[in-house]
Structure 1
């Protein structure tokens, strides 16, 4: 695979990195599966099936899948071109360095990146192999380049020559290689990775001591048939097990594509997994530099918050890479494209979770996954909509400094203030009460009459007193 250069828009002339992605940016909507049952829920078709608490979490190990062969060469690092030196817009708008200046850098926290693997990089000094479902290479191999970009956003350490730094640069990345678009089963045409291997990966992450699980992949399925699929039930159990074990699961909302379609408000037709299991998952949509929702982000009632997902910078995801990248070349035309997707919005939230876990654990006030999720939601920049959220960006773009420092009412026993805005509409005003109106008008007229009569009387008294004193008014003079 040969890299291509990209045009750098910054003011510094150094070495920049644009990468050739063999099959393009990974679409977040994963493989679909044969329909096996219709959803049983009648009142709320958007709800996932109830969790069977009698079943234990699957202990099946994540092992390399058989009958998959590599179809294309692994991504290689880029060489040449100008260097990215400026601070990315996403860091400025989120205030990442302010959190770091307070001492919160994710120290002692382990973030499991369930993805396409993570290539070793000089700026990822704390990188662990957590197992792989891909036949060759292990979890510290990333032929697709996707997982390395995710890991860089979470945990890249700073360097003096660039402004880029990960959200939690002192955290440990536990790479679990769950999927790859480059490995294909020639008989079925499927690639490595489905909801079963994702469930196995989550359970493995919990067993290996992960504090946060980042899933920048998704399976999009028709919501009417998603409830009865065995792989989905295993995935539901896996995220529930992680939640009960004190692990926060962060997932991408999904990008629009062949299987991932935009859901109409409050009436979804496409389930995005694992985001569908909203009670146990913190789901992240994408926004641009102006805070507007990205065109590609998939809405749904399970969307919780949003984070930057367009025109991003991260680590060079190619093998043997040692620099940065903000554009990736993919597709048959070989044209560089920006790094973007809900895949890369999710790791900003995973990094924030690591910062919060470090802070509250060190202060002996550890928060449960539910409390962390609620704090991130309550301190986000709420959009307009009922109760301060909508299906596109949830409760709005995350605010790391507020999540780390602000007091959330629920944490000290106070009731939260009502969020729903009060509208000034015609029905707010009372109906006409003609008796009251007549009394009010009569009082006003009577008051004015009293004022005029008093003025007339005072003027008459002055005239009488003037005549008695032998003087005359101006009107009587010739």
Structure 2
């Protein structure tokens, strides 16, 4: 039985101290590669962009040094006598993190079911400077994630559902969404706490190369935990308020968000023949006023996503789920509303075929930090949100403006799946998406 507006959509040397000279306190130099057009006023370009020549590059280009690469690139690209200017990024062997659970995170690297994450990282982005709002059950401490949490808010109005003794407040901590039999309506089953928001957030931004657990798609992105789901789900009003606030909009009675996010992840949903006006208006505000890309789960009913909201709302990136073999997962919703699919996994009959991420083993309240395989479109959605964070970071690295939500969807690439899968563009391609974001004007 479904209760509330939304149900969860997914079921682990010493250093000598010396005085700093004035020069030593300046920002370290960064290198950029520039190719001037024939007849270019090179000396003027170097002066205006505050750069100096370092070395020759291939194809008639040259390497310049700058103390603010992004600004120098912006100035150079604004000139008509510059063919291109780009960071002289450092590449390494294909990125394989030292996190011990990486080999079990097939959904990032394995063929055919993975998203090609390592080649995406090889292009430079890590999500640094990008904030992703995880609008879910809230924040739960975890050694592989806590350093990437920032800010947040609790939007659950019902104190019983919230389990914190009050309504909305500035503490987004997940108090546990466990429930007793019948608590959420006649016949509703008892269940332990899911720590759903923790699992989703780990897929977005678990730490990388820390010799701990696994990793997230955008391991240097920051997660803004927005708590909207409690014991029996979340109400339409609370979820809509969370969406607006997360993007930087005003919500009556709630302090302004000091950490507005450009990417919103909603791994939640419920049945509705149409997108409710309250929800659509909130999405419109986040997307059209504040420029936030809204990524939502398609739903787990093995039915047309047109009957699930917010999957059926306009202006969102509705995400279906695939299994380890790149087939649409048996439970995933489908149809014209689905823009793209990503790994959601299937934990039966083999648990390791699910999506592995951060979790907690507390039955009711938080206890020990663990990792666990889950399945669901809830697990697919943060793969997409994480890749969007990589795309936006790549734009910044190349001195380009952030993509608008419409541009994000345009440049979000996928590996083609059979039409019968009803997965929109197909299976999320992290490498292709980052490359497209870099290449776009």
In structure 2, what is the Cα distance between the partners aligned to 1:204 and 1:127? Answer: 17
Alignment of 1:323 with 2:370, yes or no, is: yes
In structure 2, what is the Cα distance between the partners aligned to 1:357 and 1:394? Answer: 22
Partner of 1:213 in structure 2?
Answer: 264
Of 260, 270, 283, which residue of structure 2 is paired with 1:239?
A: 283
Question: Is the 1:297–1:392 contact (alpha carbons within 8 Å) kept by the matching residues of 2?
Answer: no
Question: Is the 2:136–2:227 contact (alpha carbons within 8 Å) kept by the matching residues of 1?
Answer: yes
Give a deviation string over 1:51-110, Cα, whole Å, max 9, x none: xxxxxxxxxxxxxxxxxxxxxxxxxxxxxxxx9563411111222233223321100011
Partner of 2:205 in structure 1?
Answer: 155
Alignment of 1:254 with 2:295, yes or no, is: no
Partner of 1:28 in structure 2?
Answer: 9
Question: Is the 1:86–1:162 contact (alpha carbons within 8 Å) kept by the matching residues of 2?
Answer: no
In structure 2, what is the Cα distance between the partners aligned to 1:313 and 1:167? Answer: 12
Partner of 2:152 in structure 1?
Answer: 130
Structure 1 gap segments, 5+ residues each: 1-25, 30-82, 183-190, 327-338, 413-478
In structure 1, what is the Cα distance between the partners aligned to 2:123 and 2:437? Answer: 17
Question: Is the 1:84–1:325 contact (alpha carbons within 8 Å) kept by the matching residues of 2?
Answer: no
In structure 1, what is the Cα distance between the partners aligned to 2:102 and 2:269? Answer: 32
TM-score where L is the length of structure 1: 0.57
Going from structure 1 to structure 2, the CA distance change for 1:204 and 1:363 (only over 3 Å counts) comes to same
Displacement of 1:363 in angstroms is 1.9
Displacement of 1:299 in angstroms is 1.3
Give a deviation string over 1:201-259, Cα, whole Å, max 9, x none: 100101231110000001212x2xx46xxxx1111011111111211000000011xxx
Displacement of 1:277 in angstroms is 1.7
Where in structure 2 are the equivalents of 1:262-411 lying within 5 Å?
A: 262-263=303-304, 270-278=306-314, 280-310=315-345, 311-318=354-361, 319-326=366-373, 339-366=374-401, 367-376=403-412, 379-385=413-419, 392-406=422-436, 411=440
In structure 1, what is the Cα distance between the partners aligned to 2:175 and 2:292? Answer: 25
In structure 2, what is the Cα distance between the partners aligned to 1:85 and 1:353? Answer: 21
TM-score where L is the length of structure 2: 0.61
Partner of 2:53 in structure 1?
Answer: none
Question: Is the 2:338–2:424 contact (alpha carbons within 8 Å) kept by the matching residues of 1?
Answer: yes
Going from structure 1 to structure 2, the CA distance change for 1:321 and 1:155 (only over 3 Å counts) comes to farther
Q: Give the SS at the match of 1:352.
A: helix
In structure 2, what is the Cα distance between the partners aligned to 1:285 and 1:162? Answer: 29
In structure 2, what is the Cα distance between the partners aligned to 1:96 and 1:85? Answer: 11
Of 110, 129, 142, which residue of structure 1 is paired with 2:131?
A: 110
Partner of 2:142 in structure 1?
Answer: 121
Q: Give the SS at the match of 2:132.
A: strand
Where in structure 2 are the equivalents of 1:84-95 lying within 5 Å?
A: 84=101, 86-92=103-109, 93-95=114-116
Displacement of 1:274 in angstroms is 1.3
Going from structure 1 to structure 2, the CA distance change for 1:102 and 1:87 (only over 3 Å counts) comes to farther
In structure 1, what is the Cα distance between the partners aligned to 2:329 and 2:242? Answer: 29
Question: Is the 1:133–1:192 contact (alpha carbons within 8 Å) kept by the matching residues of 2?
Answer: no
Coordinate RMSD, CA, aligned:
2.5
Q: Give the SS at the match of 1:313.
A: strand
Question: Is the 1:285–1:298 contact (alpha carbons within 8 Å) kept by the matching residues of 2?
Answer: yes
Question: Is the 2:321–2:329 contact (alpha carbons within 8 Å) kept by the matching residues of 1?
Answer: yes
**Number of residues of Structure 1 aligned to a counterpart in Structure 2:** 290
User: Once structures 1 and 2 are overlaid, which stretch shifts more, 117-126 or 103-112?
Assistant: 117-126
Give a deviation string over 1:314-343, Cα, whole Å, max 9, x none: 0123424333222xxxxxxxxxxxx10000
Q: Give the SS at the match of 1:219.
A: strand
Going from structure 1 to structure 2, the CA distance change for 1:105 and 1:316 (only over 3 Å counts) comes to same
In structure 1, what is the Cα distance between the partners aligned to 2:384 and 2:394? Answer: 15
Of 225, 244, 252, which residue of structure 2 is paired with 1:203?
A: 244
Partner of 1:164 in structure 2?
Answer: 214
Question: Is the 2:144–2:213 contact (alpha carbons within 8 Å) kept by the matching residues of 1?
Answer: no
Of 160, 169, 173, which residue of structure 2 is paired with 1:140?
A: 173
Larger of the two Rg values belongs to structure: 1
In structure 1, what is the Cα distance between the partners aligned to 2:102 and 2:424? Answer: 33
